[in-house]
Amino acid sequence: MKILKNVYLFHETHLPEEGWFQGCYKCEMITSKTICYKNIHVYDKTIKFVVYICNKCTKLFKNDTEKNFIFSSKCNNFISEYLESRRPKTPDPSCCFF
């Protein structure tokens, strides 16, 4: 499948959004480390969600399932909101005059 778009999850910092370094999505520390969190298939294309996460947080999540669950929930909530905001709006049937 063709990658339609890469969407990056990171904490906002003073750095430009197009740069290699961003804030860790969990602890805000500046990092260049990313993980491919999830691919969502939309029709015949794929949206790839990439998360900036520092080494310290990566190790922490591997050892603590509760924190891993909270982090995953945060990522999944972002993805749901992102997809919902880009879903085509259905027209209101009451506005059509046939």
Percent of the chain with pLDDT over 90: 40
pLDDT at 23: 93
Domain borders along the chain are 2-85
The pLDDT of residue 91: 62
pLDDT tens by residue, 22-65: 999 999 899 999 999 999 887 778 899 999 999 998 888 777 78
Position 97 confidence tier, pLDDT thresholds 50, 70, 90: low
Q: How far is CA 88 from CA 3, 55, 83, 85, in A?
A: 20, 38, 10, 8
Nearest 5°: phi and psi at 35? -130, 145
Which pLDDT score is estimated for 18?
85
Q: Please list the alpha-helical segments (H only) found in the chain.
A: 55-63, 65-86
Output the CA torsion sign for 28, 5, 73, 55: negative
Q: In sequence order, what are the residues at sequence separation of 6 or more whose Cβ sits closer than 8 angstroms to the Cβ of residue 57?
A: 24, 26, 27, 71
